[in-house]
A = this chain, B = another copy of it.
Amino acid sequence: MMNHLNMNECAGGVTAPQGFRAAGMYCGVRKVKKDIAMIVSDVPATVAGVFTLNKTQAAPILVDKAQLKRSSLCSAIVVNSGNANACTGERGLNDAWQMVRTTAEVLGVPEEHVLVSSTGVIGQYMPMDKVIPAIGELAKMLSRSGNKDAAEAIMTTDTYPKEVAVQFTLGASTVTIGGVAKGSGMIAPNMATMLAFISTDVAISQQLLTKALQSANNRSFNRITVDGDMSTNDQVLVLANGLAKNAPFGENSEEYQLFSAALEYVMIKLAKMIARDGEGATKLIEIQVKGARSEEEAAQAARAVANSNLVKTALHGADANWGRILAAVGYSGIEFNPDIVEISFNDLPILKKNYEIVLDEEKAKAILEQENVIVTIDLNQGNQFARFWTCDLTKEYVHINASYRS
């Protein structure tokens, strides 16, 4: 894909595209660590978003959905970690709107061009006395090299910041896409969230941007799982400010295909970073299901395997336990014939049709002890394919999530 796209990774994360600035700082929502960030486009950017499907939705999710109905443009996103502003009722909603209004004031942009995001503890009110002054500070600190501070400020139990940026050619223009994300591991003391903010200088209609985002999201952030728990605050926002000045393109153009592929690359890269950084994880596990009748069927089977505690503990123990994998496919809900399924680990065949076990225990153990494991499951009933990413389930996960909040 990279060759076809003539795409290169570059530095700069979310501020790599033209016209984007960012900042991150400590304001006291958390006990230590930077905890509030701002990402700004110098010109209003076309915006698209996808949000958690959880019926229990945090205040910033409700605000952002309302904002996207008011305007197709966005100039700024303000994000805090340490407090999710979820299950906070009317007061939480007022707080989220206050964060939007304050950001609009200090930046001198219309209120409807500002989005807000929060991640952290559920059921506690935002410390607005700390947040509001910080928003003013952030506005003064915005810079083209603020991406790293922003990436750190949105982290919760993440063990490293998650950034990526790519450049590629679109007609006569060079287009850049950048992105920053935080992990899906759930926070001690409370639950956290998967957040991602994507920036690009491409010129694109909101309709196409939304379509590209949804398609890429289905193959990236919707294909990762740490513990199967869905957050109240999950969101992915993409801002496209048009400063690359590429010629307009339509849905059936090669340009749209190229942009979509690059966006998917960026989002999959961030998604894999999140899966690898799951709480307590020691390895990234990619579940590939092939030979399916549809991509949806392949994804459904892969999801069941990726969510199986038994598979994830076995892989943690470097145990080539194909029986648990086959059992998980068995309860995934898809129709298939277990007799003809084949399984391999990093291309090493483990199980052939009719339960022929070709497992070499020594070789399998060596593969499973690596940091990156690809489990391939061939259903042998079609030619469709899907991937899912997860991590192993460890004692450290239990330790992190069983510790008392105080």
Q: Is residue A89 contacting chain B, with contact meaning CB distance below 8 A?
A: yes
Nearest-CB residue, chain B, relative to A341: B56
15 chain-A/chain-B pairs, Cβ below 8 angstroms: A56-B327, A87-B355, A88-B355, A89-B354, A122-B323, A122-B326, A123-B355, A186-B310, A190-B321, A229-B310, A230-B330, A232-B327, A319-B402, A361-B406, A394-B398
Contact check, B230 vs A331: say whether CB atoms are below 8 A apart: yes
Q: Is residue A317 contacting chain B, with contact meaning CB distance below 8 A?
A: yes
Q: Is residue A236 contacting chain B, with contact meaning CB distance below 8 A?
A: no
CB contacts (< 8 Å) of A186 on chain B: these are: 310, 324
Nearest CB of chain B from residue A102's CB, rounded to whole Å: 24
CB contacts (< 8 Å) of A361 on chain B: these are: 406
Contact check, B323 vs A402: say whether CB atoms are below 8 A apart: no
Distance, CA A328 to CA B321, complexed state (A): 29
Nearest CB of chain B from residue A380's CB, rounded to whole Å: 14
Of the candidate stretches A1-9, A111-119, A171-179, A332-340, the one touching chain B is A332-340
Q: Is residue A227 contacting chain B, with contact meaning CB distance below 8 A?
A: yes
Nearest CB of chain B from residue A349's CB, rounded to whole Å: 14
Contact check, B191 vs A327: say whether CB atoms are below 8 A apart: yes
Contact check, A331 vs B55: say whether CB atoms are below 8 A apart: yes
Distance, CA A90 to CA B55, complexed state (A): 47
Distance, CA A281 to CA B260, complexed state (A): 47
Sorted nearest first, the 4 A-B pairs with minimum C-beta distance are A122-B323, A317-B402, A56-B330, A313-B401
Which of B88, B338, B401, B404 contacts A55 (CB under 8 A)? B338
Q: Give the number of copies in the complex.
A: 2
Contact check, A310 vs B191: say whether CB atoms are below 8 A apart: yes
CB contacts (< 8 Å) of A318 on chain B: these are: 404
Q: Is residue A316 contacting chain B, with contact meaning CB distance below 8 A?
A: yes
Distance, CA A56 to CA B324, complexed state (A): 11
CB contacts (< 8 Å) of A307 on chain B: these are: 228
Q: Is residue A329 contacting chain B, with contact meaning CB distance below 8 A?
A: yes
Q: Is residue A288 contacting chain B, with contact meaning CB distance below 8 A?
A: no
Distance, CA A307 to CA B227, complexed state (A): 10
Which of B122, B309, B322, B404 contacts A401 (CB under 8 A)? B309
CB-defined interface of A95-139 with B at 8 Å, one 1/0 digit per residue?
000000000000000000000000001110000000000000000
Residues of A in contact, count (CB < 8 Å): 65
Q: Is residue A86 contacting chain B, with contact meaning CB distance below 8 A?
A: yes
Which of B189, B229, B324, B398 contacts A398 (CB under 8 A)? B398
Distance, CA A101 to CA B406, complexed state (A): 62
CB contacts (< 8 Å) of A402 on chain B: these are: 313-314, 316-317, 319, 393-394
Nearest-CB residue, chain B, relative to A318: B404
**Knowing A55-B330, A402-B313 touch, does A191 contact B324 (C-beta < 8 A)?**
yes
CB-defined interface of A376-406 with B at 8 Å, one 1/0 digit per residue?
0000000000000000011101110111111
Nearest-CB residue, chain B, relative to A405: B319
CB contacts (< 8 Å) of A229 on chain B: these are: 308-310, 324, 327-328, 331
CB contacts (< 8 Å) of A57 on chain B: these are: 330
Q: Is residue A357 contacting chain B, with contact meaning CB distance below 8 A?
A: yes
Distance, CA A398 to CA B2, complexed state (A): 39
